[in-house]
Chain A
């Protein structure tokens, strides 16, 4: 869920929600439907927006009984501390870690690796997969696999990989890159961005060897109901919580 000023952005079309813009309501619904974990990403950058987000994290922690990760605007240890104190189980760091990799080490040393999800936005270039900053707007020289390995070695607990070539296209996850990540890393890899149909989730697990798959719009727009998806994955012999 992308959050701006305490509300879920990107539309939703749920009929059974009192308030589809309230992340807590939506999170509760997903949790009831069988989501295994939730991710809330703060896309406001202002100081005021951050305060609202922290208050939201407190409400999520009070009302939702499954693990959740929060990200966006985390630059230093004090940001992590504030969000964990508010009740988040994990934090996801992206650009700030790419700019200052020590952040990963600091989080792992202070709060444990299980708290530290490193999100990477990647894109295939002429020179192979490269990492991008600021939600994929700014290219860097860092190679995807090399950075993922460094994050792993610095103490990241999980890698959340989004391919900018696949995100929003609904043509499936970047399975080849996912498989390579899973081969070189010793921590779980979460596939993010690209799901358009149920088969795409299966492929991410089987072809991409991903440990988990994240999706947003197919759930927000009720294109793929979570219970049906999980039944389907189970019938494809993928171990999953029902």
Chain B
């Protein structure tokens, strides 16, 4: 199986490569259009700031390419946010795959710390991405912006308010959390994605 990881100016790309290797797949890191189009699976990772990252993607026409991909694609963290319509981070227009805005966490109490860093459970899981999950599993989050619960939500987490831990529409999947840093649970999610 050919798994391509979109190469761009985001952090954590290597963590994703390592995680793939741990589940037995050698991913290719590339921004080559043909390589990305011909891959069986595409991973769109990301740690970074929405505005500068979108600009980088647009300058290289990677924004259009990602939207037009036909094989299963998964966005991770900033990847999920960039797949939405618009982000409050730098008031950025995003890819618009999921027609839902990305909002900034508004702390309600002193305990509501932002960024949200740490392990949280995902619930209401309804997708093959979470195949074999029979209880609330913990996954690792690092983010200050979130996607509200919407019609494409396939897993939810509650931190400050309920939000989309994961999204799915057609061939596009996304997670706000980092499967590549979520221990064995994260590895199961990556394997499930590779099995789609």
| Chain A interface residues toward B at CB < 8 A | 31, 36, 61-63, 65-67, 84-85, 87, 89, 111-114, 157-158, 183, 186-188, 211-212, 241-242
Contact = CB atoms under 8 A, between A and B. Distances in A.
B115 A65 contact: no
Given A65-B22, A67-B140, A186 B113 contact: yes
Contact of A89 (B49, B118, B181): B181
Nearest to A241: B138
B187 to A, nearest CB: 6
B177 to A, nearest CB: 11
B18 interface: yes
B47 A87 contact: no
Given A66-B181, A114-B142, 9 more contacts: A65-B181, A65-B182, A114-B117, A157-B115, A158-B117, A186-B114, A188-B113, A188-B117, A242-B138
16 contacts: A36-B118, A36-B119, A61-B14, A61-B18, A62-B18, A63-B18, A65-B19, A65-B22, A65-B187, A66-B182, A89-B15, A112-B47, A112-B48, A114-B115, A188-B117, A241-B119
A108 to B, nearest CB: 11
B101 interface: no
B186 interface: yes
Contacts of A212: 118
Interface of chain B, helix or strand or loop or mixed?
Answer: mixed
Interface string B100-119: 00000001001001110111
Interface of B: 11-12, 14-15, 18-19, 21-22, 47-49, 107, 110, 113-115, 117-119, 138, 140, 142, 180-184, 186-187
Contacts, number: 61
A241 B138 CA distance: 6
Given A65-B181, A66-B181, A188 B118 contact: yes
Contacts of A187: 113
A189 to B, nearest CB: 9
B180 A65 contact: yes
A241 B186 CA distance: 14
Contact of B11 (A31, A61, A111, A241): A111
Given A65-B183, A65-B186, A66-B183, A87 B113 contact: no
A186 B108 CA distance: 12
Contacts of A65: 19, 22, 180-184, 186-187
Contacts of B114: 186
Nearest to B19: A65
Contacts of A63: 18, 22
Nearest to A186: B113
A187 B110 CA distance: 10
A66 B186 CA distance: 9
A188 B21 CA distance: 32
Nearest to B112: A186
A67 B115 contact: no
